[in-house]
Structure 1
């Protein structure tokens, strides 16, 4: 009677302990026809066993799933961070100028494609750097335009030794030795700096090949290594523009008390031209009697004069104002040499 009341009070199911102290669950059901009440008792462990086992299995699956997810996340993170770190290191190498650095491609996904593009970029930068270095070396003795032309065509044979007809131009300052002996180093370098800056612009504008600076002198040639249509007229234009550029500087120099002049000599003839030097340093030069003749004409020129030889004068024809100065002895030459003076009035090439 007491058990039935407890079950009824608990809503139809009650828990407790049986006579042996085992935890049990009890439920009852009334049979009105006979006035019976049937009470059923079941050990709690037996009643909840399937649920407990299901919970354990579910918990185990959750733990295994969580561990698998963690391992997968770690693998994916390493798979992504590894290439990213290699890319970061690669950018540092490129920034440091190491254009030969390449990234190992270990996948075909987006990061692998990014690494491939990075390697392609590094290769292009290496080629660009090599090209810029090549142009820089060429610009030591060629005008920038010619240096870029040689690089663009990829034809180094144009700089190989050959014998061609060239116009050779020498120029230097008159009275520079006395000026440099009496002036401070700063004053001397100031004059030379503005002087060669002015001449350099003229040589570049005329696309001449700069051979050398020698003290206060400069040597340039036309028609090598790149051919010009009319070497004689090109030389006359260059010489006249050289005189005009330096004569404008002389006004300010003389205002400072510097007694300096400027002369130009030019000659045309066959010469051997090409690269000379060694692996770390090459220069382009011209060798032959025409070079010596142009240098001697320059030495003989007075301030403001442009002296040329008979070959260049004849090639100019009547296109330039030329005056014959007769024959004169030139240092280092056995016979007297016909000398001509070029005046302004040369036809200008449109620019």
Structure 2
């Protein structure tokens, strides 16, 4: 339904007033009084048409005549107030006379009343006052809805951020912070599923640690491990390696999974040499405390099966395959400060690394002797110690 003023469409701007009266001359009078003062006036000739108009268009105030056929002003007002969509819409009853009509108007929910013949200034003042209240109520409702929407969005964002933090903390158990962050941002955790990949594996441990732990107080042992883990863990993250595990003095890191790493052998060896330098500094301090500890590294390259292992609430990311065993055996065979590598790792290095061959070496658990090489140093790192 299109609500019309007397004969023409009126744009819904300014204070919007719906005049309800069965007499045309009364409706025209309200238009003549209110429109020159900036009110936007619409009219309805009955209670039923008024309810239809309210269902289609928003209004700020209703001026409602009491005496109308079929549905009088009292019933119309009661229906307006019973509808949740219009319950807060101000209704001014236009009464002929008498306190009885006023009392009935208040009982059905009218907000104010005007007695015929009405004073024009009083009518406009009442309409403006009630319109301000209505607009204020509308603003409060809009703000409440917006606040509820914002709260719902905030709750959703907080839940999402908490989930991201949980995922990030999970991933940071074995990935560098920057790689873990990229995975969380992308939302892709498919790498956790079992898969095969050519990786370069680094094993490190402390020479003489078992004897040291047997003869030292537990507090001393833990203090040494904390310093050792902190020094090496920082380098794992710096070189963007994937940390499989810390196990006492042992550490296993691999490259080229999950993020691809085109220079995995070179990066692994550079990291190992930096670790050796770090542990050299720690070893000097430990010797002053009476602890004789060295550092050995084994590095191998080959295919492994990788993926998530464990159980709900305690997952790890693991690499399983001969390459991890070879790296571990090379580490076990290394003397203090030695970095031993397999033939494939050596093939992935360039001329910036100084190496020497140790010839075929029998490694425990490996069926055939392995050609082993020792990495003595790196021209780049020696130039920038």
Displacement of 1:279? 2.6
- Structure 1 position 326 matched with structure 2 position 375: no
Displacement of 1:346? 4.7
CA pair 288-346 structure 1, distance change in 2 beyond 3 A: farther
Q: 1:165 aligns with which of 185, 195, 198?
A: 198
Output the CA distance in 1 between the equivalents of 2:295 and 2:321: 25
Partner of 1:310: 343
Contact 1:237–1:346 (CA<8 Å) still a contact in 2? Answer: no
Q: 1:215 aligns with which of 248, 254, 267?
A: 248
Q: Deviations for 1:225-274, whole angstroms, at most 9, x for unmatched residues?
A: 11112111111111111111111100100010101111111011111112
Q: Please tell me the root mean square deviation across aligned C-alpha atoms, in Å.
A: 2.7
Output the CA distance in 2 between the equivalents of 1:313 and 1:114: 63
- Structure 1 position 188 matched with structure 2 position 221: yes
Partner of 2:299: 266
Output the CA distance in 2 between the equivalents of 1:200 and 1:180: 21
Contact 1:164–1:273 (CA<8 Å) still a contact in 2? Answer: yes
**Partner secondary structure for residue 316 of structure 1:** coil
Output the CA distance in 1 between the equivalents of 2:236 and 2:314: 22
Output the CA distance in 2 between the equivalents of 1:165 and 1:301: 24
Output the CA distance in 1 between the equivalents of 2:281 and 2:346: 26
**Partner secondary structure for residue 319 of structure 2:** strand
Output the CA distance in 1 between the equivalents of 2:211 and 2:166: 40
Q: 1:257 aligns with which of 277, 287, 290?
A: 290
**Partner secondary structure for residue 125 of structure 1:** helix
Displacement of 1:317? 3.9
Mind listing any 5+ residue stretches in structure 1 that lack a counterpart?
1-55, 70-75, 81-106
Displacement of 1:319? 3.2
Q: Which has the larger radius of gyration?
A: 1
Output the CA distance in 2 between the equivalents of 1:334 and 1:134: 41
Report matched runs for 1:65-144 at 5 Å: 108-144=141-177
**Partner secondary structure for residue 303 of structure 1:** coil
Displacement of 1:108? 4.2
Partner of 1:102: none
**Partner secondary structure for residue 211 of structure 2:** helix
Contact 1:236–1:346 (CA<8 Å) still a contact in 2? Answer: no
Output the CA distance in 1 between the equivalents of 2:336 and 2:190: 39
Mind listing any 5+ residue stretches in structure 2 that lack a counterpart?
1-97, 112-132
Displacement of 1:160? 2.0
Displacement of 1:304? 0.7
Partner of 1:39: none
Partner of 1:156: 189
Count of residues in correspondence between the two structures:
258
**Partner secondary structure for residue 348 of structure 2:** helix
Output the CA distance in 2 between the equivalents of 1:189 and 1:315: 37
Displacement of 1:68? 8.9
Q: TM-score, normalised by structure 1?
A: 0.68
Q: Deviations for 1:67-103, whole angstroms, at most 9, x for unmatched residues?
A: 998xxxxxx9xxx9xxxxxxxxxxxxxxxxxxxxxxx
Q: 1:147 aligns with which of 152, 159, 180?
A: 180
- Structure 1 position 228 matched with structure 2 position 261: yes
Q: TM-score, normalised by structure 2?
A: 0.62
Partner of 1:38: none
Contact 2:342–2:373 (CA<8 Å) still a contact in 1? Answer: yes
Output the CA distance in 2 between the equivalents of 1:109 and 1:154: 35
**Partner secondary structure for residue 302 of structure 1:** coil
Q: Deviations for 1:180-199, whole angstroms, at most 9, x for unmatched residues?
A: 11111110000000100101
- Structure 1 position 340 matched with structure 2 position 373: yes
Partner of 2:209: 176
Contact 2:300–2:324 (CA<8 Å) still a contact in 1? Answer: yes
Moved over 4 A (4+): none
**Partner secondary structure for residue 221 of structure 1:** strand
